[in-house]
């Protein structure tokens, strides 16, 4: 078979993931993500991005440049999404319609995508196909797609396997190996080992975001311990408690709910984005959250709730967005007086997230913290563990699936170089069996 991988986007940076794989005259697209930081910057400076054309968004660097595969356009048989993070699915609304094919993902990924398209008022001609994790869907005589369960920082994430008559191509973007997940099963190691032992894995595309971090990424249970310490070992009597996290982090949300109830607080979840991921999780039968909390997604409902919290601040624990200091988030609106709540002396804001290390995020977050500190709010930062594999996790992944070729992705060059070095130590040869491909470049796999 004639197999070629095109690194459309996400091979020189973190985010904006998109890869195309050509198998003879058929092409599968893996992920269609967005650059969240560029998008946020554009929205804060210029307002609604929907006034821009897709080409303008590509030129800005927010959307992958799929002109790189323009001559493959009619050959695309499926778009497969690994999980529901914005840097993996959010360019679907701009790019997918031109490919006359179905979009495949786990039930949760498809639910979130459907909800996002609805929010953006985008109607796509593409069929949305839910495929259960650890199962397969036949695309053609030569291609079968398998979604293999893997742990990460949202639900129902998959390592994508493309089965061809010549072997299997694996796409592991993103993953961590959590052996004690709080919500949902752990990674399907058995299947990964089975593929490795079969000797049929032609190539592995692996994320490299934390290749520079030594050791293994701690389990999510460690984040629970950290949050538990803050909430149970401090006296927040009569003080407001806000816990902020990524709205797609369903596990962390359930943890905050459990701990909040332990300290006898009523749980309030604020914001449209939180609502989207939570309701999608309920539709995908992952977690039942709304029965335990007051979910206030919109305008007056949100304002009335905040007035109630202002008056009875010791009764509630609020879960909301804003950990990046991002404009338009709940915390941002509160500190900018766009919502009726005033932080007071010794109220608590717990950042159960990391700051995405991009200048705009760092600046936004710094500004937010300054205002909170000026109001004498107690701030707890980095109550968090990552959803991305570290150096030894990537090594374990490669050891498990024994690919003939390794292609590091999703990281700046120095991170890709670390994966190359790791592979060389394992016997791979640079440019022969371990490869760095830049955005837009192609690599033949034999």
Positions that interact with Zn ion (CB under 5 A) = 85, 174
Q: Which is nearer to Zn ion, 174 or 369 (CB)?
A: 174
Q: Give the residue from 213, 174, 207, 209 showing the smallest Cα distance to 409.
A: 207
284 φψ region: left (φ > 0), alpha (ψ -120 to 50), beta (else): alpha
Q: Which is nearer to Zn ion, 23 or 103 (CB)?
A: 103
Q: Which is nearer to Zn ion, 174 or 332 (CB)?
A: 174
Distances (CA, A) of 388 to 220, 297, 385, 392: 11, 29, 9, 11
Q: Min. distance of Cβ 387 from Zn ion in angstroms?
A: 6
CA angle, 264 as apex, 261 and 269 as ends, to 5°? 50
Q: Min. distance of Cβ 294 from Zn ion in angstroms?
A: 28
Q: Which is nearer to Zn ion, 107 or 389 (CB)?
A: 389
Instruction: Give 98-142 as a DSSP string.
Output: GS-SEEEE-HHHHHHHHHHHHHTT---SSPEEE--TTEEEE-SSS
Q: Identify whether the C-beta of residue 160 lies closer than 8 Å to the C-beta of residue 145.
A: yes
Q: Min. distance of Cβ 24 from Zn ion in angstroms?
A: 31
Q: Which is nearer to Zn ion, 65 or 174 (CB)?
A: 174
Q: Min. distance of Cβ 175 from Zn ion in angstroms?
A: 9
Query: Which residue number places its CB atom closest to Zn ion?
Result: 85
Q: Min. distance of Cβ 365 from Zn ion in angstroms?
A: 20
| Cα 205 to Cα 31: distance, rounded to the nearest angstrom | 12
In 143-216, the DSSP E strands lie at 144-150, 157-164, 167-172, 201-207
Q: Which is nearer to Zn ion, 13 or 174 (CB)?
A: 174
Q: Min. distance of Cβ 321 from Zn ion in angstroms?
A: 16
| Cα 347 to Cα 317: distance, rounded to the nearest angstrom | 11
CB atoms within 10 A of CB 264: 9
| Cα 276 to Cα 271: distance, rounded to the nearest angstrom | 9
Q: Min. distance of Cβ 278 from Zn ion in angstroms?
A: 18
Q: Min. distance of Cβ 339 from Zn ion in angstroms?
A: 29
Q: Which is nearer to Zn ion, 85 or 333 (CB)?
A: 85
Three-state secondary-structure class, residue 162: strand
Q: Which is nearer to Zn ion, 85 or 365 (CB)?
A: 85
């Amino acid at each position: 078979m004639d197999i070629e991988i095109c690194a459309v986007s996400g091979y020189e940076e973190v985010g904006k993931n998109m890869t195309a794989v050509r198998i003879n005259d058929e092409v599968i697209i893996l992920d269609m993500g967005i650059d969240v930081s560029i998008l946020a910057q554009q929205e804060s400076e210029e307002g609604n991005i929907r006034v821009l054309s897709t080409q303008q968004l590509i030129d800005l660097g927010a959307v992958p440049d799929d002109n790189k595969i323009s001559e493959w356009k009619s050959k695309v048989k499926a778009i497969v999404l690994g999980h529901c993070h914005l840097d993996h699915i959010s360019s679907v609304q701009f790019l997918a319609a031109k490919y006359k094919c179905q979009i495949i993902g786990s039930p949760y990924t498809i639910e979130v995508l459907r909800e996002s398209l609805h929010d953006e008022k985008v109607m796509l001609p593409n069929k949305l196909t839910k495929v259960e994790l650890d199962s397969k869907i036949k695309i053609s005589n030569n291609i079968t797609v398998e979604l293999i369960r893997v742990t990460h920082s949202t639900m129902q994430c998959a390592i994508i396997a493309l089965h061809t008559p010549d072997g299997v191509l694996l796409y592991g973007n993103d993953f961590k190996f959590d052996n004690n997940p709080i919500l949902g099963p752990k990674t399907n190691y058995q299947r990964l080992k089975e593929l490795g032992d079969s000797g049929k894995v032609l190539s592995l595309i692996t994320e490299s975001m934390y290749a520079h971090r030594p050791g293994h990424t701690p389990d999510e249970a460690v984040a629970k311990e950290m949050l538990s310490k803050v909430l149970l070992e401090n006296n927040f009597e009569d003080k407001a408690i806000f816990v902020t996290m990524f709205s797609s982090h369903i596990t962390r949300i359930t943890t905050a709910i459990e701990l909040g109830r332990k300290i006898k607080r009523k749980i309030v979840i604020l914001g449209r984005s939180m609502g989207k991921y939570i309701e999608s999780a309920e539709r995908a039968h992952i977690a039942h959250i709304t029965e335990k909390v007051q979910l206030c997604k919109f305008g007056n409902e949100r304002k009335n709730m905040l007035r109630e919290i202002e008056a009875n601040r010791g009764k509630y624990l609020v879960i909301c967005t804003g950990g990046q200091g991002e404009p338009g988030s709940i915390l941002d609106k509160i500190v900018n007086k766009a919502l009726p709540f005033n932080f007071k002396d010794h109220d608590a804001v717990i950042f159960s997230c990391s700051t995405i290390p991009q200048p705009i995020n760092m600046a936004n977050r710094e500004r937010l913290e300054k205002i909170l500190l000026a109001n004498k709010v107690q701030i707890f930062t980095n109550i968090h563990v990552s959803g991305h594999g570290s150096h030894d996790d990537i090594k374990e992944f490669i050891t498990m699936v024994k690919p003939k070729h390794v292609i590091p992705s999703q990281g700046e060059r120095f991170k890709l170089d670390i994966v190359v070095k790791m592979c060389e130590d394992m016997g791979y040869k640079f440019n022969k069996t371990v490869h760095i491909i830049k955005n837009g470049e192609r690599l033949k796999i034999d």
